[in-house]
Amino acid sequence: MAFKLHNDGTVKEMIHWNSGSSAAKLSEPERFKDVDENHPYAKFIDPLHQYEVLQANKEENFTPETFLTRAEFAYWLSQIAYFTPPSKKNQCFLM
């Protein structure tokens, strides 16, 4: 079980893993200003925004009609899979 906290110390997210299932307490739903609940992909975009995989731009928009680079897609996949990209620091173990 793991907790992610808000700056004020309240629980923002709780994750519980076991071999058969997982559960998470999500933060309060936030919506991008340009993705309303009737958007055809809102049910996919909103949870990823709650998990902070998708970030808003300066205007608090998602801009779902813009193109996505391979690097952005790879970053999103790594965030969804709870994968931490390799460190740029020197390796502590030699192969």
* 7 and 20 belong to one structural domain: yes
**Cβ contact 26:13 at 8 Å:** yes
Confidence of residue 92 (pLDDT cuts 50, 70, 90): low
* 16 and 57 belong to one structural domain: no
**Cβ contact 83:75 at 8 Å:** no
* 23 and 48 belong to one structural domain: no
d(CA 83, CA 57): 23
Q: Which domain holds residue 65?
A: 31-95
* 21 and 65 belong to one structural domain: no
* 11 and 48 belong to one structural domain: no
Confidence of residue 25 (pLDDT cuts 50, 70, 90): low
39-75 confidence digits (pLDDT tens): 999 998 888 887 778 888 999 999 988 999 999 898 8
> Which residue did the predictor score with more confidence, 30 or 61?
61
* 21 and 40 belong to one structural domain: no
Residue by residue, DSSP assigns 44-72 as HHHHHHHTTSS---TTS---TTS---HHH
In the chain, the amino acid numbered 83 is F
